[in-house]
């Protein structure tokens, strides 16, 4: 059974960089047919797609965040990471990592999610 688990600081100061890691277990991050995503949810609000990465390193980011976002993958640790720079209070949210499934070249949605981690931006 595939499991994803987010980790990282729950409190980040304004103007600093938010850094989160998603550890994948029960499957290899290097397997073809999958992409590895970050999504966030502001308190009481809907879901916002941040971006995703393939194991090859190809990345796709939300243009609204693109200038501040970096997603990377570490296949040796079976992890992928999110960095969001120059954070403000508006970046306070629950951050989720998720696996996107494109097995057999069919887009099958994001089928496994981490439990989410609340990151608060405050001094």
Minimum CB distance to another protein, residue 100 (Å): 8
Comparing CB distances to another protein, the nearer of 34 and 96 is: 96
Query: Does residue 42 bind another protein (CB under 8 A)?
Result: no
Evaluate whether 35 touches 50 at the Cβ level (below 8 Å).
no
In the complex, the smallest distance separating the C-beta of residue 82 from another protein, rounded to whole angstroms, is: 15
Candidates 65, 54, 60; CA nearest to 29 is 54
Q: What angle do CA 33, 34, 36 make, to 5 degrees?
A: 165
In sequence order, the β-bridge partners of residue 95 are 40, 117
Q: How many residues bind another protein (CB under 8 A)?
A: 25
Could you tell me the smallest distance in angstroms from the CB atom of residue 16 to another protein?
A: 25
Tokens of 83: 């960095």
What residues line the site for another protein (CB under 8 A)? 37, 46-49, 52, 60-64, 96, 98, 100-101, 106-111, 113-116
């Amino acid at each position: 059974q595939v499991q994803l688990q987010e980790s990282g600081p729950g409190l980040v100061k304004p103007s600093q960089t938010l850094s989160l890691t998603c550890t994948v277990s029960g499957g290899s991050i290097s397997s073809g047919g999958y992409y590895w995503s970050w999504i966030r949810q502001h308190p009481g609000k809907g879901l916002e797609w941040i971006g995703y990465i393939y194991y090859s390193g190809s990345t796709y980011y939300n243009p609204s965040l693109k200038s501040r976002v970096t997603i990377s993958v570490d296949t040796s640790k079976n992890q992928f990471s999110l960095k969001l720079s120059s954070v403000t209070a508006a970046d306070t949210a629950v951050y989720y990592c998720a696996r996107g499934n494109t097995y057999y070249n069919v887009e099958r949605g994001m089928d496994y999610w981490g439990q989410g981690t609340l990151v608060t931006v405050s001094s």
